[in-house]
């Protein structure tokens, strides 16, 4: 059974012989530290990195849309953990404004700007294109269907599927994507209350762009569409359940429906305590949800009991293994497998890998995961 088949079996809510896992480092610095270096084309390098990590999901989002060589390198490194958005991946082109040893400044074609610090990694949002109502026209002028954006996606999806991997392409979150690229975070949250019509128009314009990009990826054969929508913090939701239901939920339903029309899957990331809208996410048709961080009050066992027959959980272990002993790491992995394994619909997420973790502990983390996922006994 290939890694892709293992993911598909899991999504059918059956228990595969080996529980799939996804290793995800804290940032690009950690990824560079722990991944071996190869001197091949990006596809061949990615295959070797996937094999090394024993990961199953690979990102198809094109890196040619970026001008910066550093961004392209970071993007290609991040493909193996399925979420390259930290370096600007998705479907908007970026140009390089400034670069030195410390950071690189990129500008999206909408004129939003990020300043990305290289080591330690940090991403600052330094300018937003939407400041007044008239600026919304900037979103309407983007030609999302230009085939040059998606050059190579079809060939890459075919290549990796034939090699036995599950393919993914990233769009932008329908909630989070707005403040990542278009509109200041504090104003965005306040305007859910004070400027509801404006927010609805902004989210809807962004949503249409997202759906068009997803359609282009799906037509080129990817297995899934991934997006990041951090809807909460460890205390609860960032907006009310009512605001979510009125403004964001319709787009979550549309993207899930679109994926299903193509026989593909919809994969959503959301940090935070989002228990109050879990029923909406299930109703929308989200197929995969991550990370279900225990420190955010997301109880895997409880969520499996409630929604485990309709949703697959890519559930994380912890935010940091730096100060954990090998015995504690082993017990943690055992616990997550015990909670998630019954009935399928579970992918183990090995999180908490920061640049400060030593190599021996990282290697142990991989080894104990492989052993327990294939030989675990309840």
Tens of pLDDT, residue by residue over 303-343, are 999 999 999 999 999 999 999 999 999 999 999 999 999 99
pLDDT band at 257 (very low <50, low <70, confident <90, very high): very high
Residue range(s) defining the domain that contains residue 182: 3-86+130-375
pLDDT at position 38 is 84
DSSP result, 239-289: S-HHHIIIIIHHHHHHHHHHHHHTT-EEEEE--S--GGGHHHHHHHT--EE
Handedness of CA 225, 348, 297, 357 (dihedral sign): negative
Average pLDDT over residues 250-277: 98
| Rounded-to-integer distance, Cα 128 and Cα 112, Å | 5
pLDDT band at 275 (very low <50, low <70, confident <90, very high): very high
pLDDT at position 84 is 86
Report if residue 144 sits inside a domain.
yes
Task: Assign residue 239 the CATH number of its domain.
Answer: 3.20.20.210
The residue that leads in pLDDT, 36 or 256, is 256
| Rounded-to-integer distance, Cα 287 and Cα 313, Å | 8
Contact 349, 290 (CB under 8 A): yes
Report if residue 360 sits inside a domain.
yes
Residues facing residue 269 across a β-bridge: 228, 290
Residues facing residue 25 across a β-bridge: 353
pLDDT band at 376 (very low <50, low <70, confident <90, very high): low
Q: Dig out the tokens for 103 from the structure.
A: 């950071």
DSSP 247: I
Q: Which residue has tokens 């989200």?
A: 286
User: Is the confidence at residue 186, as pLDDT, over 70?
Assistant: yes
> Around 166, how many Cα atoms within 13 Å sit in the side-chain half-sphere?
28
Chain centroid to CA 368: how far? 24
Report if residue 32 sits inside a domain.
yes
Report if residue 73 sits inside a domain.
yes
Report if residue 111 sits inside a domain.
no
Model confidence pLDDT, tens digit, residues 55-103: 999 999 999 999 999 999 999 999 998 788 899 999 999 999 999 999 9
pLDDT at position 378 is 43
pLDDT at position 83 is 82
pLDDT at position 377 is 47
Asked if the bond preceding 30 is cis, omega within 30° of 0, the reply is no
Report if residue 109 sits inside a domain.
no
Contact 353, 363 (CB under 8 A): no
Average pLDDT over residues 108-130: 96
Average pLDDT over residues 172-179: 96
pLDDT at position 244 is 98
Report if residue 91 sits inside a domain.
no
Contact 47, 375 (CB under 8 A): no
Secondary structure (3-state) at 84: helix
User: Is the confidence at residue 148, as pLDDT, over 80?
Assistant: yes
How many structural domains does the chain have? 1
Model confidence pLDDT, tens digit, residues 8-35: 999 999 999 999 999 999 999 999 999 9
Report if residue 118 sits inside a domain.
no
């Amino acid at each position: 059974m290939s890694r892709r088949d293992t993911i598909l079996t899991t999504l059918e809510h059956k228990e595969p012989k080996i529980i799939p896992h996804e290793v995800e480092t804290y940032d690009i610095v950690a990824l560079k530290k722990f991944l071996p270096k190869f001197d091949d084309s990006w596809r061949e390098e990615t295959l070797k990195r996937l094999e090394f990590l024993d990961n199953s999901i690979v990102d198809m989002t094109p890196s040619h849309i970026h001008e910066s060589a550093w961004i392209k390198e970071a993007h290609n490194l991040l493909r193996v953990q399925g979420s390259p958005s930290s370096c600007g991946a998705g479907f908007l082109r970026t140009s390089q404004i400034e670069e030195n040893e410390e950071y690189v400044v990129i500008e999206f074609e909408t004129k939003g700007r990020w300043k990305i610090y290289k080591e330690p990694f940090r991403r600052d949002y330094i300018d937003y294109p939407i400041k007044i109502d008239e600026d919304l026209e900037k979103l309407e002028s983007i030609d999302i269907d230009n085939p040059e954006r998606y050059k190579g996606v079809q060939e890459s999806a075919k290549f990796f599927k034939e090699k036995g991997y599950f393919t993914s392409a990233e769009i932008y979150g329908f909630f989070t994507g707005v403040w990542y690229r278009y509109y200041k975070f504090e104003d965005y949250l306040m305007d859910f209350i004070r400027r509801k019509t404006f927010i609805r128009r902004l989210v809807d314009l962004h949503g249409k762009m997202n759906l068009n990009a997803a359609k282009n990826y799906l037509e080129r054969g990817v297995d899934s569409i991934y997006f990041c929508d951090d809807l909460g913090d460890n205390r609860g939701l960032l907006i009310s359940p009512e605001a979510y239901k009125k403004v964001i939920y319709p787009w979550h339903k549309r993207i899930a429906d679109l994926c299903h029309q193509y026989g593909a899957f919809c994969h959503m990331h959301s940090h935070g305590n989002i228990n109050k809208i879990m029923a909406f996410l299930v109703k929308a048709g989200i197929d995969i949800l991550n990370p279900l961080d225990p420190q955010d009050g997301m109880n895997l066992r409880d969520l499996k009991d409630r929604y485990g027959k309709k949703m697959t959980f890519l559930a994380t272990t912890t935010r940091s293994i730096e100060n954990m002993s090998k015995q504690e790491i082993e017990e943690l992995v055992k616990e997550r497998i015990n909670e998630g394994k019954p009935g399928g619909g579970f992918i183990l997420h090995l999180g908490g890998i920061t640049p400060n973790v030593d190599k021996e502990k990282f290697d142990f983390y991989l080894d104990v995961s492989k052993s327990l996922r294939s030989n675990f006994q309840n």
